[in-house]
Structure 1
Amino acid sequence: MTDQPLISKAGDTLAASDVYGIWKIRDAVFAVEQQCDEPDVDDQDLLEATHHLWFEDAEGPTSYVRLLTDPDGARRVGRVCTRREHRGAGQSGRLVQEVTRVWGDGVLHLNAQAHLEDWYGRFGYVRTGENFMEAGIDHVPMQRDPGIIR
């Protein structure tokens, strides 16, 4: 476990340094490590209905997650990532648990990288459809219904 404080901000309250740090970790994980073939910046990060949660050290975010709220109220968890040197410390799990604590009163949706289906299952997410390709990576649609205790 980390002793880093949890940071939670709505997209419309992010400072330029927050945006830089968020894009820096997502670029390192998704573009460099995973070689995703789609742009990460998608015009959703600065919206009032978008929430960002992360832990950070002096170099910026160490683990990060984004929660989108669609116009119809559906909540979508995404962009879950952890810097390589911080993996295995449970930071991503703590972030997913915090998303559930704060927003778990409704259905939560996510598109999990297929190799992480069982990991998300530990938090109450279940498969809702067939595998599909997103950003050049095999994904699984999943959701978590309210009231599941994990």
Structure 2
Amino acid sequence: MTGTPYVKNGDDLTAQDVYGIWRIRDIVFAVEQQCDEPDVDGLDLISTTTHLWFADDLGPTSYLRTYVGADGVRKVGRVATRREHRGRGLSSALLRAVHERWGDEEIRLGAQAYLEQWYASFGYERCGENFMEAGILHVPMRRVGTAG
């Protein structure tokens, strides 16, 4: 059972929220995956970025953020789950929460290549050529909105 995720816009985050979010992303992206680009990109604290996460006493256990890019299309990114919480469906639950809120819109993401089929199971399709980001091979993907 995953429960209800925390959902906060960037301008509503507390210092403790920001610390926890940056901590999980640091552990997963910088330490485990050895990403070679900075994680903090100026998007986290703005009002149009929404952060979703589950947490325990040590902070976020699984996390993602979503925002509308300069192109007007919703993006999902920074999906991260602490190692000891993987395999419990937490990231899936967060992605479903995004679809519940914004599923009528097109949603795009840059999936790490090894996760292409996982994202495809949620209705995402490849929409371009592979690319390198932070030293990791990614696949551009999109999910067509249900509005029409």
Q: Same fold (TM over 0.5)?
A: yes
Compute the RMSD of aligned alpha carbons: 1.2
Which has the higher mean CA deviation after the structures are superposed, 84-93 or 64-73?
A: 64-73
With the length of structure 2 as denominator, give the TM-score of the two structures: 0.96
1:95-126 deviation line (CA, Å, top 9, x unaligned):
00110110111100000000000000010000
Which has the higher mean CA deviation after the structures are superposed, 66-75 or 113-122?
A: 66-75
1:82-103 deviation line (CA, Å, top 9, x unaligned):
0000000000000001101101
Amino acid at match of 1:10: N
Give the whole-Å Cα distance in 1 for the aligned partners of 2:101 and 2:2: 20
Give the whole-Å Cα distance in 2 for the aligned partners of 1:131 and 1:70: 20
Amino acid at match of 2:53: W
* Residue 2, structure 1, aligned to residue 2, structure 2: yes
1:17-44 deviation line (CA, Å, top 9, x unaligned):
0000000000000000000000000010
Aligned pair count? 147
Helix, strand or coil: the match of 1:68? strand
Which has the higher mean CA deviation after the structures are superposed, 32-41 or 62-71?
A: 62-71
Deviation at 1:72, TM superposition (A): 4.1
8 A Cα contact 2:2 2:93, kept in partner: no
Match of 1:32 in 2: 31
Match of 1:129 in 2: 128
Identity of aligned residues (%): 62
8 A Cα contact 2:20 2:59, kept in partner: yes
Match of 1:107 in 2: 106
Give the whole-Å Cα distance in 2 for the aligned partners of 1:70 and 1:49: 9
With the length of structure 1 as denominator, give the TM-score of the two structures: 0.95
Task: Map 1:1-150 onto structure 2 (within 5 A).
Answer: 1-3=1-3, 5-147=4-146
Give the whole-Å Cα distance in 2 for the aligned partners of 1:31 and 1:46: 20
Amino acid at match of 2:2: T
Amino acid at match of 1:89: R
5+ unaligned residues in a row in structure 1: which ranges?
Answer: none
